[in-house]
C-alpha cells in the first residue's frame, strides 16, 4: 500500500489560512516546504503533492503547478480543462492514491505529500496510509479562517530529518519550530 506524509505550518491558535492565502510571510519556511516535498533519494523519481482545490488556486499563478513535483488537485466541481495538462484532477483522496498505485506511475514516484487544506488534512490523518506529519509550529496567534484539525492520539514526535534546522527559528519577528510526528502502529 502506497503511503503518504502530511506537511503543514500551523499557528498557536491552530490556524493555517486566511482569505485563500497563508496568514504569514515566512520565506525560509516556504523554502523548507519546497525542499522537503521535492527531496528524493532516487534522482530518477519525483514526489507527488496532493491538495484541495482552494489550496491549489491559493498558490500564486506564477508558482503553480508546484515545480518538480506531480501536482494532484482534489475537486468534485472542477473540469480537467480548468487545470494545466500536467496537473492531475481527482474526485477523492483514495482515487488519487489508487491512480498513483497504477503500475505505470508507481515506479516513477518516491514520496507522496498531502499539502492541505483543512478537510484533506483531516481525511489524511485518519487514513491508514498516513505515515508522518511534518508540522511547522508557529509560536504566535494569527487571524485565520481555516484551521488544522485535531491530531489523532496515535502520532508521536520523532527526530526530524538530518537537514532540518533544529530549535526555534525566527523570521520577521515570528518564532517557529519544525516538528515531525510519526504514526505509532
Ligand atoms: N499553513 C499551511 O501549511 C497551509 C497548507 C495548505 C493550505 N493552506 C491554506 O488553507 C486555505 C485553503 O484550505 P481549505 O481547507 O479552505 O480548502 P482546500 O482543502 O484546499 O480546498 C477545498 C476544496 O477542495 C476539494 N476537496 C477537498 N477535499 C476533497 C476530497 N477529499 N475529495 C474531493 N475534493 C476535495 C473540494 O473542492 P470542490 O468544492 O471543487 O469539490 C473542496 O471544496 C488557504 O487559505 C491556504 O492558503 C495553508
Asked whether the predicted pLDDT for residue 50 surpasses 80, the reply is yes
Residues 21, 23: Cα–Cα separation, whole Å: 6
DSSP bridge partners of 46: 109
Sign of the dihedral through C-alpha 96, 101, 103, 108: positive
Mean pLDDT for the chain overall: 97
Which residue has 503518504 as its cell numbers? 4
Query: Taking residues 54-59, what's their average pLDDT?
Result: 97
Query: Taking residues 21-49, what's their average pLDDT?
Result: 97
Nearest residue by C-alpha to atom 32 in ligand 1 = 92
Q: Are 2 and 101 in contact (CB under 8 A)?
A: yes
* pLDDT value at residue 185: 75
* pLDDT value at residue 61: 95
Residues 180, 157: Cα–Cα separation, whole Å: 6
Q: Please, which residues have CB within 8 angstroms of residue 14's CB and are 6 or more apart in sequence? A: 144, 147, 148
Which atom of ligand 1 lies at the shortest distance from residue 53's CA?
A: 24
- Per CATH, the number for 4-183 is 3.40.430.10
- The residues lining ligand 1, judged by C-beta closer than 6 Å to any ligand atom, are 8-9, 16-18, 20-22, 51-55, 58, 74-78, 91-93, 115-120, 123, 146
Domain layout of the chain by residue ranges: 4-183
Residue 104: pLDDT band with limits 50, 70, 90: confident
List helix spans (H) across 87-147.
Answer: 93-100, 103-106, 118-126
Residue 19: pLDDT band with limits 50, 70, 90: very high
Residues 152, 146: Cα–Cα separation, whole Å: 19
Instruction: Determine the Cα angle at 143 with ends 66 and 67, to 5°.
Output: 5
Amino acid at each position: 500500500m502506497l503511503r503518504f506524509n502530511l506537511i503543514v505550518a500551523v499557528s498557536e491558535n491552530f490556524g493555517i489560512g486566511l482569505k485563500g492565502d497563508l496568514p504569514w510571510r515566512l520565506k525560509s519556511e516556504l523554502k523548507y516546504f519546497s525542499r522537503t516535498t521535492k527531496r528524493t533519494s532516487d534522482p530518477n523519481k519525483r514526489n507527488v503533492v496532493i491538495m484541495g482545490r482552494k489550496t491549489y488556486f491559493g498558490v500564486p499563478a506564477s508558482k503553480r503547478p508546484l515545480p518538480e513535483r506531480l501536482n494532484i488537485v482534489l475537486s468534485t466541481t472542477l473540469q480537467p480543462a480548468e487545470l494545466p495538462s500536467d496537473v492531475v484532477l481527482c474526485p477523492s483522496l483514495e482515487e488519487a492514491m489508487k491512480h498513483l498505485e497504477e503500475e505505470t506511475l508507481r515506479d516513477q514516484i518516491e514520496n507522496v505529500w498531502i499539502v492541505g487544506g483543512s478537510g484533506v488534512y483531516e481525511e489524511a490523518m485518519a487514513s491508514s496510509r498516513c505515515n508522518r506529519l511534518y508540522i511547522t509550529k508557529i509560536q504566535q496567534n494569527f487571524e485565520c479562517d481555516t484551521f488544522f484539525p485535531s491530531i489523532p492520539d496515535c502520532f508521536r514526535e520523532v527526530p526530524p530529518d538530518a537537514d532540518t534546522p533544529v530549535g526555534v527559528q525566527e523570521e520577521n519577528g515570528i518564532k517557529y519550530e519544525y516538528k515531525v510526528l510519526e504514526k505509532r502502529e
